[in-house]
Structure 1
């Protein structure tokens, strides 16, 4: 797949972002063919450049993973002349702006949603916040673990007697980046079938994303169910649906319905558990989890993982080994998907877009920019001319 075949080749995205949420949205757009111009703080750049080790040529591997394929402009927004150049660049080039700075920060420099959409009515402007655009916490900054704690997510992660722990990837940051892309694409679609000069202001946040991930626990609670609790690798709604320790390792077994459960009992030579009324339906198994799981655990530990995987797979019972990250990198399925790709300069290997078009995965869109590598863009003529003279107004 070459660049001409990518779906967003005619879209320019300006990312005024740092850390993870806006940069992840930006890198998704870059993989889909958009031109992504990243505006960074002139003094130190995106904070994530220092979030290591490991480092690759002075920037963290995390930064490379989230920012390859972009152009970098360094800016000092407190300098009115610099802010004016940024504003002119956006109005003259951008279809989309992504920003995840502290609420109100960009408004001081004439770069907030209201100012820029007045200057450029067709602009789609997306705010990626911490707690949402309304409510008592609308101005509160936030990072992923703070939102994991506040949203109740940490209260259901781990085992009953564990200290609170977080999902060890920035699930709310990256999820918010995904929602930003979904919202922006919907707004661009809306423009395409209506008024092409009408943009929109999109608001997404880490907290709203966390609440979306928590849809099932929140819905269970709202329906009068028991307070969601930590149950390790298990599911509150399906049993058995968790990791089991075997003689030489561990596997996850997902017997997601009554038929699969009966097959599991047959394979494990435990017919009495299939006929026991306490366990005959999934609802009963959920209610009697504490009685059933130890009986299965005692049986699984009697044989090695390879034996269990072989017999379970033969009966089409969903299962798989508990793998470490290094195993995943070298796993035959991972390799066959060709999803781990190198940037063109060979410096970075990271994960490509988990989407294919007509069986072809978009390539990595380019290398990771150095801070301010593309500052010359501010002196180039705009990509499009506008009928008004708004580009030449002086900043406040």
Structure 2
């Protein structure tokens, strides 16, 4: 679907063209998932309450117009239907939409959707082809399933925070909401898999993803190191527990990140730094040697790197074939020519603001590319349009608006 300047929505080719998503989510994990689906061409109807709408509309400053920048970050390409789920008329509208949807996405605390009459069992009984995606803090099974979920708590409980931060410092959470965003990606993968399965079975299924599970799955080699050694992993700052040197270093005027992933790269790196005597030093000849002797090696590397600027070292090491990059600020990263060339910063039309600058999609499909069509909707912007498509008359829509069942 795409939105023209007239405000009418028309079909546009995309990998998920013809797929309709009824999005009951708010905050970050669910909206991030539904935005991915929308970018891939799905028609996403974002259901918001009739009062404040999605909580993140108010999570500022900064604001872009009436809505917080936070809200704009994960709600592009969607249509907004503002409805009171606690009213009979409002609930009936959502049920009718679920009957025609391919996907329902929700991130309520487990049990809430069921109490509203919008749980998987109820909706799939009406629409057996429905793919129903749930994101919650702890999942729909297990002793903690009834608890509310928060990104920072999932990061903490999963062990991810325990390996994030400097060696002798306190544990810190990621600078981004890794648990929320990770769960959003996992549920998207599950939904797409369920859609494919439906092609052969004719029926949908429930996709149950939790923030905690998603974070634990990201432990990968950190967990495997523990399984293999029995040693509880600790913090290494920007360094890697299994590879040396693989971390950030200070130069004469700034910081760079170096990734020396094999012994051949080590020889190039040491030579480029002028540390020729270390190239064949038996203490550092192989990666296991360098990991064992990291406390001896790293000060030697740090001392050598202070002789030149970050730009000089980046150029010199790149020429030598060593992976290296500056540790950029967010502003510097967004201005990178590579980021611009990949269309990872875009300006999208917005109904009120005219244009809104936001991030692009990292998914590059050659045949059915993602399309970034419109910035985030205003609250209830498409309520009348969605209701009219359901077959309601203008008089019926007017009564629903007057009664407060919709906005």
Q: Same fold (TM over 0.5)?
A: yes
1:189-204 matched pairs, under 5 angstroms: 189-192=196-199, 194-196=200-202, 198-204=203-209
1:116-265 matched pairs, under 5 angstroms: 116-192=123-199, 194-196=200-202, 198-265=203-270
Aligned partner (choices 75, 79, 82) of residue 83 of structure 2: 75
- Rounded Cα–Cα distance in structure 2 between residues aligned with 1:5 and 1:379: 24
| Correspondence for 1:272 | 277
| Correspondence for 2:379 | 371
- Rounded Cα–Cα distance in structure 1 between residues aligned with 2:146 and 2:279: 54
**Pair 225,304 (structure 1): closer, same or farther in 2 beyond 3 Å:** farther
Deviation at 1:225, TM superposition (A): 5.0
Q: Does 1:39 align with 2:44?
A: no
Query: What secondary structure does 1:71 align onto?
Result: strand
Aligned partner (choices 317, 322, 325) of residue 322 of structure 2: 317
**Pair 329,378 (structure 1): closer, same or farther in 2 beyond 3 Å:** closer
Deviation at 1:261, TM superposition (A): 0.5
| Correspondence for 2:61 | 53
- Rounded Cα–Cα distance in structure 2 between residues aligned with 1:379 and 1:310: 58
Deviation at 1:161, TM superposition (A): 2.4
Q: Does 1:64 align with 2:72?
A: yes
**Pair 349,30 (structure 1): closer, same or farther in 2 beyond 3 Å:** same
The 8 Å contact of residues 89 and 378 in structure 1, kept in 2 or not, is answered as no
- Rounded Cα–Cα distance in structure 2 between residues aligned with 1:304 and 1:371: 49
The 8 Å contact of residues 50 and 82 in structure 2, kept in 1 or not, is answered as yes
The 8 Å contact of residues 342 and 364 in structure 1, kept in 2 or not, is answered as no
The 8 Å contact of residues 41 and 371 in structure 2, kept in 1 or not, is answered as no
Deviation at 1:76, TM superposition (A): 2.2
The 8 Å contact of residues 126 and 184 in structure 1, kept in 2 or not, is answered as yes
- Rounded Cα–Cα distance in structure 1 between residues aligned with 2:82 and 2:168: 48
The 8 Å contact of residues 110 and 139 in structure 2, kept in 1 or not, is answered as no
Q: Could you tell which deviates more after superposition, 198-207 or 80-89? A: 80-89
Query: What secondary structure does 2:229 align onto?
Result: coil
- Rounded Cα–Cα distance in structure 1 between residues aligned with 2:367 and 2:328: 27
TM-score, scaled to structure 2: 0.89
Deviation at 1:227, TM superposition (A): 1.9
**Pair 321,360 (structure 1): closer, same or farther in 2 beyond 3 Å:** farther
For 1:248-307, what per-residue CA distance to the aligned partner results, in whole angstroms no more than 9, with x for missing partners?
111111110011001111111212222222211111211221111111111111221222
- Rounded Cα–Cα distance in structure 2 between residues aligned with 1:248 and 1:24: 37
The 8 Å contact of residues 352 and 363 in structure 1, kept in 2 or not, is answered as no
**Pair 127,323 (structure 1): closer, same or farther in 2 beyond 3 Å:** same
Q: Which runs of 4+ in 1 moved over 6 A?
A: none
| Correspondence for 1:335 | 340
Q: Does 1:100 align with 2:107?
A: yes
For 1:130-184, what per-residue CA distance to the aligned partner results, in whole angstroms no more than 9, with x for missing partners?
1122211111111111111111111111102222211011111111111111111
Query: What secondary structure does 2:123 align onto?
Result: helix
Note the aligned Cα RMSD (angstroms). 1.8
Deviation at 1:116, TM superposition (A): 0.3
The gaps in structure 1 that reach 5 residues or longer are: 384-396
| Correspondence for 2:356 | 348
- Rounded Cα–Cα distance in structure 2 between residues aligned with 1:139 and 1:183: 22
